[in-house]
Amino acid sequence: MSTALRKTIFVVDDEPDIVELITYNLEREGYRALGFTDSTDVLEKAMQLQPDLVILDVMMPGTDGFELCRTLRRTPETAKIPVMFLTARTGEVDQIVGLELGGDDYITKPISPRVLIARVKSLLRRFSEQVRSERIVAPEVLRIGALEIHRQNYTVWIDGVETFFPKKEFELLAFLAANPDKVFTRDQLLNRIWGETVYVVDRTVDVHISKIRDKLGRYAGCIETVKGVGYRFRWKTEAIETAS
């Protein structure tokens, strides 16, 4: 309970009854829950209050949940805030889009309050563990040759040019680069980047690696495929322009 008291959670949904139900149950658990029935003020408030989690509906008038998530991820002050989608959109494509945009979990309605609280606790716990791990394995700014990775504002600079990476691509690149020459299996990367509570398949890692390599351009070969095992990052002259 004492840990929960220090956590602030935003609940964003255009249905007031849902906002009221979720905030009520969160507050019963000791969280500070702030409700929003549209996305108008969410970014500004998130920049000011730095919530520990944003629970976000997708289908809202004006700026929808997907676009708001994209904005949160591209804004330095809110880039690292966990986002949990809670929506009636159950399609696989919607789930993939939500996670690709930087969502940390994707839950479909209806869901019982007890299960939702359990998912919230799990996500907050996973994020806290991730933050502790990041403090151990990497500095805020990682410089490797012509590559700069700025963890504080989720930016990557290649040959002095800033290149945008969505959250999961960024985290995957930063994690590999912060642990050079170490080979990670796909399962290890899935658990480290996506967490055990989000269902994704091995192919998800491969797709993200492919996108990262495209953006790295002539440095794509620095992310090596270790056949039958997984991936590793190696900064070496012969890796440039020779993706494995």
Domains, the chain, in order of start with CATH, read 2-135 (3.40.50.2300), 139-239 (1.10.10.10)
CB 224 within 8 A of CB 239: yes
Predicted pLDDT at 222? 92
Predicted pLDDT at 106? 92
Residue bearing tokens 């012969």: 238
Predicted pLDDT at 224? 94
Predicted pLDDT at 200? 59
Predicted pLDDT at 1? 43
Q: Exposure of 116 by Cβ count < 10 A (0-12 exposed, 13-18 middle, 19+ buried)?
A: buried
Nearest to 145 by CA among 230, 244, 238: 238
Q: Which two tokens stand for residue 110?
A: 């209806």
Predicted pLDDT at 216? 92
Spans in the chain with pLDDT lower than 50? 1-5, 132, 135-137, 237-244
Predicted pLDDT at 155? 86
**pTM of the prediction?**
0.57
By DSSP bridging, strand 147-150 and strand 141-144 are antiparallel
Predicted pLDDT at 142? 87
